[in-house]
Amino acid sequence: VAEHRPRGFRVHTAAARVIDDDRDDVTVIVSEAPAVASAVFTRSRFVGPSVTVSREAVADHRARGVVVVARNANVATGKEGLANALEVRRLAAAAVGVDEHELLVASTGVIGVQYQMDSLRTVLGALTAAADTDFDAAARAIMTTDTAPKIHSARCGDATVIGIAKGVGMLEPDMATLLTFFCTDAEIAPDDLDAAFRRVMATTFNAVSIDTDTSTSDTAAVFANGLAGPVDLAEFEAALHETALRLVRAIARDGEGATKLIEVHVRGARDDAQAKRVGKTVVNSPLVKTAVHGSDPNWGRVAMAIGKCQEEHDIDQERVHIAFGDIAVYPHAPDAEAVERLVAHLDGATVEIHIDLGIADGAFTVYGCDLTEGYVRLNSEYTT
């Protein structure tokens, strides 16, 4: 749900039949005015040319937008893949009337397969510069195995921040996420934008994990064209954070095969970084995820997962406290009545796990989802 639109951004979507159906799978988002930008990318050692090209494009913190091809990652495709990425960007830039160096390229989907360039050339050649602000269409067109589009907007003063995101599997962002793009008409200096964006990413998109698998294509970018004039910096960061957090919750809830959102709130850690490591270990544990899926009050698996953090020598099981929602389970095991309430909490759409390590003041919250037979089914059958 996004009620507001930033001024001066155009959206184009088209169907290039990247795989054999009719849905839109090519998206161009572009600012009519010059814009400042910031972006973070996957840290994979097997990045695709889209990431390489986009890293270079955003290096000067000036970019107007992005062209996205869904359902083919264009990764592990060699020199031909790089040439194709550059041609896709050149064609998109020509169609919407900007310099090619002002566009990022993003692509997710199957790895190791070349783009069908004939079809992409036809579709990109037919794009017109006509104004359209249908960000909902863009949120749909960038999807791969997502079951629902992810879009949210927030206001700060006279300006708007809008964000879209996709990604439900192969998803443990580290420096970034799969694909998420933010557009704003706030006027903001490149350094301020970059600093705010990185802080927001750290506690939102870098705090979500569906299945521990890091994509080769993760890209998160923000574009600010200034058409709404100056904004209060703190208010802007709050709007960006709210938008990003809502997208993250939507992504975790829509994790491949997922039926529940899991939030792991860690506090009492040595520092925030330790709290994040512990939270990630718990939210990624297949045994915690399956127990949540089955509403199994098997809280001992959370203790096991904390125990996996073998390098955290200051974690002492005698000082740890564990709760689900408001139901404490460790060190005092729940009685029958509490187990009943625990099962009821596990049956809900959002499961909250609270861990207090009892060391110091570090805290962090991570987001994930349950592991289901649907995840296995979907990923056993993906390309065949």
350 binds a second copy, rule: CB under 8 A: no
From the list 311, 267, 307, the residue with the least C-alpha distance to 287 is 307
Choice from 82, 117, 189, 309 touching a second copy (CB under 8 A): 309
298 binds a second copy, rule: CB under 8 A: yes
Site for a second copy in 166-195 (CB under 8 A): 169-170, 174
From the list 192, 219, 255, the residue with the least C-alpha distance to 104 is 219
Site for a second copy in 241-280 (CB under 8 A): none
Residue 53 has which token pair? 């090209």
Residue 198 has which token pair? 């990185």
Strands (E), the chain: 9-14, 26-31, 36-41, 65-72, 103-110, 150-156, 159-166, 179-184, 219-224, 261-269, 321-324, 327-330, 350-356, 362-369
Separation between Cα atoms, residue 145 and residue 123, nearest integer Å: 22
- For CA atoms 295, 297, 301, 305, give the dihedral sign: positive
Is residue 177 part of the annotated active site? The answer reads yes
Q: How far is the CB of 55 from a second copy (least distance, A)?
A: 15
128 binds a second copy, rule: CB under 8 A: no
Site for a second copy in 28-67 (CB under 8 A): 42-47
Separation between Cα atoms, residue 309 and residue 353, nearest integer Å: 17
Choice from 112, 125, 229, 348 touching a second copy (CB under 8 A): 112
125 binds a second copy, rule: CB under 8 A: no
User: Which window, 3-11, 83-91, 142-150, 367-375, contacts a second copy (CB under 8 A)?
Assistant: 367-375
Separation between Cα atoms, residue 147 and residue 153, nearest integer Å: 20
Smaller CB distance to a second copy: residue 238 or 343? 343
317 binds a second copy, rule: CB under 8 A: yes
376 binds a second copy, rule: CB under 8 A: yes
Separation between Cα atoms, residue 27 and residue 18, nearest integer Å: 12
Catalytic residue among 145, 177, 216, 365: 177
List, by residue number, the catalytic residues: 177
**Can you give the binding site for a second copy, defined by CB under 8 A?**
42-47, 73, 75-76, 78, 110-113, 169-170, 174, 211-216, 284-287, 290-291, 293-301, 303-310, 312-313, 315-317, 320, 329-331, 333, 343, 371-373, 375-377, 379-384
